[in-house]
Amino acid sequence: MVLTREKIRKIKEDFLREFDEAKSGLEELEKIRIKYLGRKSAFNQMLKELKDLSEDKKRELGPLANEVKKDIKNSIDEAILDIKREKDLQKEWIDVTAPGNKKRIGSLNILSQTQREIERIFNSMGFEIADGPEVESEWYNFDALNMPPDHPARDLWDTFWLKQKSKKDQGKLLLRTHTSNVQVRYMKKNKPPLKIVVPGKAYRYEATDANHEHSMAQFEALVAGDEINVANFKDVAEKFFSSYFRQDINVRLRPSYFPFTEPSFEFDISCTVCEGGGCPACKNTGWLEVGGCGMVNQRVFEAAGYPRDKYQGFAWGFGIERLAMMKHKIDDIRYFRSGDLRFIRQF
Ligand code: PHE
């Protein structure tokens, strides 16, 4: 066998033909690489034959053969690179028309939203927002509000009493049963005229049902000055509820009893569904019960260190859950702290 120009050209032609069919598969490319460039390839065989040629022929065919070998190698290498690049691209491919993954960002719990709304309205009426502890002394929760130990009115609130090592400093401790504990706390430090609202949690040691929870949010209002009367209360309450429900609301007072107010009332608002006409939501009465209120008992002023009969004031308290339930038509108070995301995400 002698190496000739034709032979080299034939190898190249054969290669190109096979390469055309093989260039899209890695396995196929590897096969023709072995066939044309491998140790036992026809091409290597021919390079060996080159040695037997005359110097002249060597000089003529040597570079040509090497060039063809280089071309073959480059073609195969490039084809392999192309395939890999294509694969990478497929991995990175993104469908720009696909809908995005919606990230859930949290939102304020409906109770916080309601509390903020209430605060906003009272702020606009010139009220200050006051705060107090949830772990409270017996004195601020009861005694200061005209309920000495053993007073039967304490039974109105089923109380969580706390276990204590020593009762020396602050007496018995409890979880406050209402936000009214802040009344005397605040008045001890401030003199009338004053207008405050106190949002916060309160706790009752009682069985739960659709309208009762052991933990709940309350909202207290306290106004004190020289000439405050029940009409002032009614006016503030009507303005507040009309603003909160975004409709005209009437307030009605019914006689009631709280040790820290005299006289005391339960207050109702005109039904937000039927506006007073009577419907299932208000059990056909036209009214919805909201909370308790009254004129501050002089004994409470005395507990705060004010002289008796110098000031007058009103106070009220209601549950924030109840207010949210009325506005958003929620029928069970236990949803609020159930941790059920289906409930929480509605708001
Ligand atoms: N603290 C009372 C309760 O929780 C409500 C109330 C507040 C009544 C202020 C009168 C005045 O039931």
Sorted by sequence, the CB contacts under 8 Å of residue 126 that are 6+ apart come out as: 195
∠128-131-132 over CA atoms, to 5°? 150
For ligand 1, pick from 134, 175, 178 the residue to mutate: most ligand atoms within 8 Å of CB: 178
Of all protein residues, the one whose alpha carbon is nearest to atom 4 of ligand 1 is 178
∠122-125-126 over CA atoms, to 5°? 95
pLDDT at 177: 96
pLDDT at 1: 62
Tell me the pairing of strands 261-270 and 287-296: antiparallel
Peptide bond into 193 cis (omega under 30): yes
Entry pTM: 0.71
Instruction: Please report which helix (H) or strand (E) contains residue 5, including its range.
Output: helix 5-22
| CA–CA gap between residue 306 and residue 224 (Å, rounded) | 11
**Beta-sheet strands, E only, within 107-207:** 128-129, 135-137, 173-175, 194-203
pLDDT at 269: 93
| CA–CA gap between residue 123 and residue 126 (Å, rounded) | 5
Which ligand 1 atom sits nearest the alpha carbon of residue 180?
1
Of all protein residues, the one whose alpha carbon is nearest to atom 5 of ligand 1 is 317
Distance 296 CA to ligand 1 centre (A): 11
User: Is the CB of 294 within 6 Å of ligand 1?
Assistant: yes
Task: Determine the distance from the C-alpha atom of residue 247 to the mean position of all C-alpha atoms in its chain, rounded to a whole number.
Answer: 29
| CA–CA gap between residue 176 and residue 165 (Å, rounded) | 19
Going residue by residue through the chain (347 aa), what tens digit of pLDDT does each one get? 678 888 888 889 999 999 998 888 889 999 999 999 888 887 888 788 888 888 888 888 888 888 888 999 999 999 999 999 999 988 888 888 988 888 888 889 999 999 999 999 999 999 999 999 999 999 999 999 999 998 888 888 889 999 888 767 668 999 999 999 999 999 999 999 999 999 999 999 988 888 889 999 999 999 999 999 999 999 999 999 999 999 999 999 999 999 999 999 999 999 988 888 888 888 899 999 999 999 999 999 999 999 999 999 999 999 999 999 999 989 899 999 988 999 999 99
Counting every residue, how long is the chain? 347
pLDDT at 324: 94
| CA–CA gap between residue 300 and residue 180 (Å, rounded) | 11
Sorted by sequence, the CB contacts under 8 Å of residue 85 that are 6+ apart come out as: none
Tell me: the pLDDT tens digits for 127-144? 999 999 999 999 999 999
Q: Quick check: 45 and 3 in contact, CB under 8 A?
A: no
Q: Quick check: 304 and 190 in contact, CB under 8 A?
A: no
> Residue 55, by phi and psi: left (phi above 0), alpha (psi -120 to 50) or beta?
alpha
| CA–CA gap between residue 45 and residue 50 (Å, rounded) | 9
Tell me the pairing of strands 128-129 and 194-203: parallel
Mean pLDDT (the chain, rounded)? 92
Q: Quick check: 177 and 201 in contact, CB under 8 A?
A: no
Which ligand 1 atom sits nearest the alpha carbon of residue 317?
7
Q: Give me the amino acid identity at 280.
A: P
Q: Quick check: 205 and 160 in contact, CB under 8 A?
A: yes
Q: Is 63 exposed, middle or buried (0-12, 13-18, 19+ CB in 10 A)?
A: exposed
Instruction: Please report which helix (H) or strand (E) contains residue 11, including its range.
Output: helix 5-22
Distance 78 CA to ligand 1 centre (A): 85
Nearest Cα neighbor of 182 from 201, 205, 209 is 201
Which ligand 1 atom sits nearest the alpha carbon of residue 179?
1
User: Is the CB of 192 within 6 Å of ligand 1?
Assistant: no
| CA–CA gap between residue 220 and residue 196 (Å, rounded) | 8
Please, what is the angle between helix 320-328 and helix 110-124, to 10°?
A: 100
User: Is the CB of 76 within 6 Å of ligand 1?
Assistant: no
Name beta bridge partners: 225: 312
Tell me: the pLDDT tens digits for 155-169? 888 899 998 887 676
pLDDT at 169: 64
Using CA atoms, how far residue 10 sits from 43, 45, 286, in Å, is 11, 14, 104
